[in-house]
Amino acid sequence: MAGEHYFSADPAVAHERHEVAFEAFDQEFRLTSASGVFSWSRLDPGTAVLLSQAPPPDPGTEGALLDLGCGYGPIAAALAAAAPRAAVYAIDVNQRALDLVRENAAALGAAGRIVAALPDEVPETVRFAQIWSNPPIRIGKPELHALLLRWLPRLVPGGTAWLVVAKNLGGDSLQRWLGEQGFAADRYASHKGFRVLRVEKSLP
């Protein structure tokens, strides 16, 4: 993948498929992944930390949840299983990833509730009870900040975002930056070199 990244819109790398098995929220999942998407051969360690350390959404949660930078959809799958009344938006710029999310959602019986979409395909009126993300740190700080400032304000009042960032990739500085942008951001957990941040809108 010389010169190409998992956040390419249309990966040119060969389409090699792989099954990823993992446990989240006391359930077991087997999802189809493929080359050209983020952490395609295994559950990413940061995603594993996020799903093990952050509390799952309440089963009665309604409205919309967001998996921001979804890859092949492990977070979206876990959210859909934990909150069967909610719609789960799975957002990515990688078309191969979105195709895999749709395939995995159908296999899980959640095709009607997991919405795989490009960022611009999400209606502006949609607001989220929760946002979950293992954000693409390697796109660079300006792009990362722009991404978060686009989506975090779309939390409903009282909504929460759960982010996981490696400490050595700027987890603590991101927490400070979020505070400077007017969000209430605290370190909810620290595990295996990762920070799990809980982010909420600050009250006026």
Q: Which residues touch 11 (CB under 8 Å, ≥6 apart)?
A: 1, 4, 35, 36, 37, 94, 96
pTM for the structure as a whole: 0.91
DSSP code, position 58: P
State the burial class of residue 104 (Cβ atoms within 10 Å of its Cβ: 0-12, 13-18, 19+).
buried
Spell out the per-residue pLDDT of the chain, length 204, in tens: 323 344 545 555 556 898 999 999 999 999 999 988 988 889 999 999 999 999 999 999 999 999 999 999 999 999 999 999 999 999 999 999 999 999 999 999 999 999 999 999 999 999 999 999 999 888 889 999 999 999 999 999 999 999 999 988 888 999 999 999 999 999 999 999 999 999 998 755
Amino acid at the residue 1? M
Q: Strands 128-133 and 114-117, how do they pair?
A: unpaired
The number of beta carbons lying within 10 Å of the beta carbon of residue 156 is: 13
Q: Could you give the 3-state DSSP secondary structure of residue 13?
A: coil
- The token duo for 11 is 């990966």
Q: Are the beta carbons of 57 and 79 closer than 8 angstroms?
A: yes
